Amino acid sequence: MSDTDTARIYLATPPMFELETFKPRLEKVLDTTPVACLRIAANLEDASELGKICDQLRDICHRFDVAVVVDRHFRMVEKHGLDGVHLTDGAKQVREARKLLGPDAIVGAYCGASRHSGITAAEIGVDYISFGPVGDIGELGTGERATPELFRWWSEMIEVPVVAEGGLDAAALETIKDDVDFVTLGSEIWQADDAAGEAQQLLTLLKG
């Protein structure tokens, strides 16, 4: 990322949410904050229910010219008119997803804090690499953290865009914001009563 660029916001839905309640909250965020992409991170295996979420959130996002990707389920992308997939297991399914979706779809890969996994996925042909968690995500975040040094090295050495995710409060954002292309905001904003206001505050920090 060049010195004059500001990291862009990449939204992620909560793992569980009530669709009709979530939709107006999402619309308000998109109406007030520039967003590059929404990741549907719903923790659902029911294809019918997940498909309904994909269809309705896609319509909202495309109205705001925001791309939509779905966690893991790359076989749902074409059927539901999505823009791509976010793979959560590093490089393991990148070839299969790219072969099915073609060269124009977004294929991203979450690689934890593994430089090796990120490089492998980049060589295969992903559109972005995501590293995390960066900050504190509670008792579930017991694995290795993605350090500011990792993002700095990646931004200097690798051309594939890099995304930061996990525990991105103001303190964590300050440590990585100059070395990433995108920051994933999920629980960081959805846990707030005013998600749009929280997104605006974090955007101001990114620009600072």
Condensed to tens digits (0 to 9), the pLDDT of residues 43-87 reads 988 899 999 999 999 999 999 999 999 999 999 999 999 999 999
pLDDT averaged over the chain?
94
Reported as a single tens digit per residue, the pLDDT across 118-139 is 999 999 999 999 999 999 876 4
For the chain, helix (H) and strand (E) counts, in that order, are 8, 8
Residue 140 has pLDDT above 50, yes or no: no
pLDDT the model gives residue 164: 98
Residue 106 has pLDDT above 60, yes or no: yes
Residue pair 182/164 in contact by the 8 Å Cβ criterion: yes
pLDDT the model gives residue 1: 36
Residues with Cβ within 8 Å of 162's Cβ and at least 6 positions away in sequence, in order, are 118, 128, 129, 130, 131, 151, 154, 155, 179, 180, 181, 182
pTM for the full predicted model:
0.94
pLDDT the model gives residue 2: 37
Closest CA to 168 of 157, 176, 158, 159: 176
pLDDT the model gives residue 188: 95
Domain boundaries, the chain: 8-83+128-207
Please report the sign of the dihedral spanned by the C-alpha atoms of residue 158, residue 83, residue 112, residue 13: positive
Q: Round to whole Å and give the CA distance between 48 and 156.
A: 43
pLDDT the model gives residue 208: 84
Reported as a single tens digit per residue, the pLDDT across 142-190 is 578 999 999 999 999 999 999 999 999 999 999 999 999 999 999 999 9
Residue 12 has pLDDT above 50, yes or no: yes
Residues with Cβ within 8 Å of 59's Cβ and at least 6 positions away in sequence, in order, are none
Residue 141 has pLDDT above 50, yes or no: no
Q: Specify the CATH number of the domain 8-83+128-207.
A: 3.20.20.70
Assigned token pair, 51: 């498909």
**Do strands 67-71 and 106-110 pair parallel, antiparallel, or not at all (unpaired)?**
unpaired
